[in-house]
């Protein structure tokens, strides 16, 4: 595949789902496409490019994207942050006046992969007694239909459960032929939806969310697309709502509208209660350093 051909594909993926194809990803993309061109007997990369842009190639395009996005996940990933969510963020949310009196506490796991993250939140909420005491709802979305099928099925290998202690494993899973099936008591609290975070039309359904978890999703995305997604999260959160990112992710260089909160050992972002963007002092400092570094590089 020539550089020009490769750029046509990487740009298509970037515009569609935000994927940033660095040099290593480009090689994987090119070999995947070459294999499909052969299997489908298309004869050229441009014929494949034409196919995935056509209505009849929608499934092929979805599978190409699916194969390029990282879907690594497991139960109780970054548990400290999940504990802060259950023991501090949600109880605080419950004390705040709700827009419509009896509205449930709503959480959105954006980029939920096979569901380990939203199910972990439900298990911890059950353990803390938040559920069933509280009207509590989790929306979980992903671009990958394959991952969502796994999430809805709710059956996992032992590796996904490696961080769960045996008592919780016994309480919330059934062992069947070497696989672990999550109990209906957990499952019933999560609604899975297929959503591309870069597709605003479908996202219109989501609003006034208390907490958005978007952990380990932005890492592979292009920075302009990350910015668009973060702005969209801002609109979807209610004032005072929280945004939780992965432990190696931050909003530095992406947004200065959110407040950065320290919760014991965890850092989380919050939309200020007034709903008006604040210039966070940490970000302001980081932005100054970035601008200075960029100016020095230019010199
Ligand atoms: C590495 S997994 C993270 C799963 C989970 N949040 C966690 O931290 O364990 C990233 C997920 O984000 C999804 N994803 C990536 N880009 C997306 C997009 N534009 N729209 C929706 N989901 C996306 C991928 O399909 C993948 O399942």
pLDDT, tens digit only, all 299 positions of the chain: 888 999 999 999 999 999 998 888 888 999 999 999 999 999 999 999 999 999 999 999 999 999 999 999 999 999 999 999 999 999 988 887 665 556 788 999 999 999 999 999 999 999 999 887 778 889 999 999 999 999 999 999 999 999 999 999 999 999 988 899 999 999 999 999 999 999 988 888 888 899 999 999 999 899 999 999 999 999 999 999 999 999 999 999 999 999 999 988 899 999 998 744 444 444 444 454 455 555 565 55
Question: Same structural domain for residues 144 and 57?
Answer: no
Question: Same structural domain for residues 183 and 242?
Answer: yes
Q: What is the reported pTM?
A: 0.89
Residue 106 beta carbon below 6 angstroms from any ligand 1 atom: no
Residue 158 lies in a domain: yes
Question: Same structural domain for residues 63 and 154?
Answer: no
Question: Same structural domain for residues 94 and 50?
Answer: no
The domain tally of the chain equals: 2
Of the three residues 11, 37, 68, the one that is the final residue of a domain is 68
Q: How far is the CA of 43 from the centre of ligand 1 (A)?
A: 32
Question: Same structural domain for residues 64 and 92?
Answer: no
Question: Same structural domain for residues 63 and 103?
Answer: no
Q: How far is the CA of 110 from the centre of ligand 1 (A)?
A: 7
Q: How far is the CA of 71 from the centre of ligand 1 (A)?
A: 6
Question: Same structural domain for residues 14 and 140?
Answer: no
Residue 293 lies in a domain: no
Residue 36 beta carbon below 6 angstroms from any ligand 1 atom: no
Residue 299 lies in a domain: no
CATH (domain of 177): 3.40.50.150
Residue 259 lies in a domain: yes
Residue 297 lies in a domain: no
Q: How far is the CA of 65 from the centre of ligand 1 (A)?
A: 11
Residue span of the structural domain in which 7 resides = 3-68
Residue 215 beta carbon below 6 angstroms from any ligand 1 atom: yes
Residue 74 lies in a domain: no
Q: How far is the CA of 27 from the centre of ligand 1 (A)?
A: 21
Looking from the CA of residue 70, the nearest atom of ligand 1 is 1
**Mutation pick for ligand 1 pocket among 19, 139, 142 (CB with most ligand atoms within 8 Å):** 142
Question: Same structural domain for residues 107 and 42?
Answer: no
Residue nearest to atom 10 of ligand 1 (CA): 217
Question: Same structural domain for residues 38 and 94?
Answer: no
Of the three residues 68, 98, 124, the one that is the final residue of a domain is 68
Question: Same structural domain for residues 115 and 27?
Answer: no
Of the three residues 68, 88, 123, the one that is the final residue of a domain is 68
Residue 289 lies in a domain: no
Question: Same structural domain for residues 31 and 179?
Answer: no
Residue 216 beta carbon below 6 angstroms from any ligand 1 atom: yes
Q: How far is the CA of 234 from the centre of ligand 1 (A)?
A: 19
Residue 47 lies in a domain: yes
The per-residue DSSP string of the chain comes to --HHHHHHHHHHHHHHH-B---HHHHHHHHHHHHHHHHHTT--SHHHHHHHHHSGGGHHHHHHHHHHHS-----TTTTHHHHHHIIIIIHHHHHHSPPTTTTPPEEEEEES-TTTHHHHHHHHHHHHTTHHHHS-EEEEEEES-HHHHHHHHHTEE-GGGGTTS-HHHHHHHEEEETTEEEEPHHHHTTEEEEE--TT-HHHHTT--SEEEEEE-SSGGGB-HHHHHHHHHHHHHHEEEEEEEEE-TT---TTT-SSSEEEEETTEEEEE--TT-S----HHHHHHHHHHHHHHHHHH-
Question: Same structural domain for residues 96 and 216?
Answer: yes
């Amino acid at each position: 595949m020539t550089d020009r051909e490769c750029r046509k594909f990487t740009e298509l993926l970037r515009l569609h789902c935000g994927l940033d194809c660095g040099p290593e990803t480009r090689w994987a993309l090119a070999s995947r496409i070459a294999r499909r061109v052969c299997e489908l007997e298309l004869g050229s990369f441009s014929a494949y490019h034409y196919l995935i842009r056509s209505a009849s190639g929608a499934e092929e395009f979805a599978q190409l994207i699916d194969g390029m996005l990282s879907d690594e996940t497991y139960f109780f990933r970054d548990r400290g942050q999940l504990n802060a969510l259950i023991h501090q963020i949600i109880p605080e949310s419950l004390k705040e006046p709700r827009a419509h009196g009896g509205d449930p506490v709503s959480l959105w796991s954006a980029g939920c992969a096979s569901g380990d993250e939203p199910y972990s939140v439900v298990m911890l909420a059950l353990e803390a007694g938040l559920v069933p005491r509280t009207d509590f709802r989790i929306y979980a979305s992903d671009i990958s239909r394959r991952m969502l099928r796994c999430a809805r099925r709710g059956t996992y290998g032992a590796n996904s459960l490696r961080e769960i202690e045996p008592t919780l494993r016994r309480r919330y899973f059934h062992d069947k032929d070497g696989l672990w099936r999550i109990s209906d008591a957990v499952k019933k609290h999560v609604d899975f939806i297929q959503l591309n975070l870069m597709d605003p039309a479908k996202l219109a359904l989501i609003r006034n969310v208390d907490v958005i978890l978007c952990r380990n999703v932005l890492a592979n995305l292009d920075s302009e697309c990350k910015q668009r997604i973060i702005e969209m999260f801002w609109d979807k959160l209610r004032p005072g709502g929280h945004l939780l990112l992965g432990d190696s992710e931050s909003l530095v260089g992406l947004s200065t509208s959110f407040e950065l909160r320290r919760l014991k050992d965890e850092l989380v972002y919050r939309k200020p209660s007034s709903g008006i963007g604040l210039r966070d002092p940490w970000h302001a400092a980081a932005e100054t350093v970035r601008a200075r570094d960029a100016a020095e590089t230019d010199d």
